[in-house]
Chain A
């Protein structure tokens, strides 16, 4: 099936909401479906022998990256994409969502499958941290899971003053156990207050840093946002090990190394 005939068949089966134009060696299919920001979802088809390949040419993952603060997808987001592709029988290859329409297949059905996959993958936008669905602490939890470091979240611990502190992570590795506070803010004027809060917590909990099962105190700065001054790091480094989220491997080493 050549591409002009394919487009006629498509329009006949799916209606005039789908329009075709030439895009190099591809036919671009403008669908009526939208990415979360309102941009139209375009698909592309190209005949290869008896097979018509329907693909988004990586436009969906490109759209996601243009929305994202993070330099790359998280393991959880990758898993979600794989799961979505599995549901719809679509291949994820070099960032492209694609499927084949073979002799006897309905091209309209294949286009619909790929379009729905693109829709669902683009909805990963709702899992981005800035959409207030996933916090930096959730990212850290994902990382600890990926590195197979057992942890408990938001453990409540009693300080010497009697105040109860909710520590972000209690991580237990074979060599040592650690308490981790994640310091994160988008506001430069709030940064110092955050550091002071963590300092107070470490001071009040320092009875846990003594004894045969002494806990290691780790202050993990979310330095993907440039809000921290040098004094914020110096404030907490006397009572904890300072690590940075921009260097997650160093964070993991601190958690793993023996006391």
Chain B
């Protein structure tokens, strides 16, 4: 059953979403230059969610992605990589992807709540809050 806008909105609005325990950055399966982590996202409604983070120090890129196990990526924050929207606008090197029925995860926007230094943790929190 495909995700609906209503269901996506319910997920985003669920303020009980949280990660418990520690996050550990580690090498990926290819031992590439990137480090990554995966953490289950808990919630009162029991949404099957987890978050993935990836940082490539050589490419200068950072991504946090919120993934719904039954749909795929539904929300993400990208730093260091430009994006082309379906309307043919370039969004820039700091952008968020937000799922919708029409474009799924292909539409991105420039967030106004993220600091741009790669050491910031504000990106991960914003992805969980859906801000």
Contact = CB atoms under 8 A, between A and B. Distances in A.
Interface of A: 23-24, 26, 28, 30, 34, 36-40, 42, 44, 57-59, 61-62, 65-69, 71-73, 94-96, 128, 130-131, 186-188, 224-227
Looking at A68, A69, A73, A188, which has the most chain B CB atoms within 10 Å of its CB?
Answer: A69
Place the interface of chain B in its size category. Answer: 35 or more
B24 interface: no
Given A39-B81, A96-B30, A224-B69, 6 more contacts: A23-B60, A28-B60, A58-B30, A66-B73, A67-B65, A130-B70
Given A94-B31, A95-B31, A130-B70, A38 B86 contact: yes
Closest 6 CB pairs of A and B: A95-B30, A186-B70, A95-B32, A58-B32, A130-B72, A40-B82
Interface of B: 1, 28-34, 36, 38, 46, 48, 52, 54, 56, 58-61, 63, 65, 67, 69-73, 76, 78, 81-86, 90, 97, 105-108
Contact of A128 (B63, B65, B72): B72
A58 B55 CA distance: 11
Contacts of A39: 78, 81-84
Contacts of A42: 59, 81
Nearest to B70: A186
Nearest to A71: B38
Contact of B58 (A26, A38, A186, A225): A26
5 contacts: A37-B83, A58-B34, A58-B56, A66-B52, A94-B31
B32 A94 contact: yes
A38 B91 CA distance: 10
A38 B83 contact: yes
Contacts of A95: 28-32, 34
Given A57-B58, A58-B56, A37 B97 contact: yes
A187 B70 CA distance: 9
Contacts of A30: 82
A66 B54 contact: yes
Contact of A62 (B63, B69, B86, B97): B63
Given A59-B59, A128-B72, A38 B108 contact: yes
